[in-house]
Amino acid sequence: MTMLNRRDWGARAPRGAYTTLTRTRGVKVHYTGDHVDPGLVNDHARCVAVIKGIQNYHMDNNGWIDIGYSMMVCPHRTVFQGRGPGHLPAANGAGLNSDHYAVLGLVGTSGLTRPPNDMLLGVLDAIDYLREHGGAGQEIKGHRDGYSTDCPGEPLYAWVRAGAPRPPSGTR
Ligand SMILES: [Zn+2]
Ligand SMILES: [Zn+2]
């Protein structure tokens, strides 16, 4: 696992103070809800650009203080720090953020839709990190649980529903 802190990936500073979150019931898993260029599987620099674009969209279009996710995961088992542990996310839907941290898997509605095994391992790394550093509980759910959305898409949601099993490493 590679962990990128905000300075590492060139995150913009949040526009305001985070709301503190000391413990949650668990984590909700998300996808981008958009096209994801499958070429990024062979070019990690593109992953960084996509994550920066999502932060820009959340701050400039949604008017949020920061990217909405707690952590983000690309196909290279790289975990990006978003709002991070101990901070209220904004991605789960109004009223649903204090119960679960929000972790993004970098797949979408077209292009890259199926999470490679290394991405699933990265999501599990992010969940372990949020449990250790942010009091995340045992639940692993999808954005669509309790909120009307297709997120996190069928392939990622099927994995969540199966109990988020740990895939073999080093395979795609
Ligand atoms: Zn979502
Ligand atoms: Zn990557």
Q: How confident is the model at residue 169 (pLDDT cuts 50, 70, 90)?
A: confident
Per domain, the residue ranges of the chain are 2-11+19-161
* pTM listed for this prediction: 0.97
Q: Which residues surround ligand 1, an ion (CB under 5 A)?
A: 30, 143, 151
The bridge status of strand 71-73 relative to strand 78-81 is: antiparallel
pLDDT reported for residue 25? 98
Give the residue ranges of DSSP H helices in the chain.
Answer: 6-9, 44-60, 117-134, 154-161
Question: Among all ligands shown, which has an atom nearest to the Cα of 152?
Answer: 1
What distance in Å separates the CA atoms of residue 5 and residue 26, rounded to the nearest whole number?
22
Q: What is the CATH number of domain 2-11+19-161?
A: 3.40.80.10
Instruction: Summarize pLDDT for 148-159 with one digit per residue, the tens.
Output: 999 999 999 999
What distance in Å separates the CA atoms of residue 64 and residue 44, rounded to the nearest whole number?
26
pLDDT reported for residue 168? 81
What distance in Å separates the CA atoms of residue 61 and residue 55, rounded to the nearest whole number?
10
Q: How confident is the model at residue 114 (pLDDT cuts 50, 70, 90)?
A: very high
Q: How far is the CA of 106 from the centre of ligand 2 (A)?
A: 9
Question: Among all ligands shown, which has an atom nearest to the Cα of 45?
Answer: 2
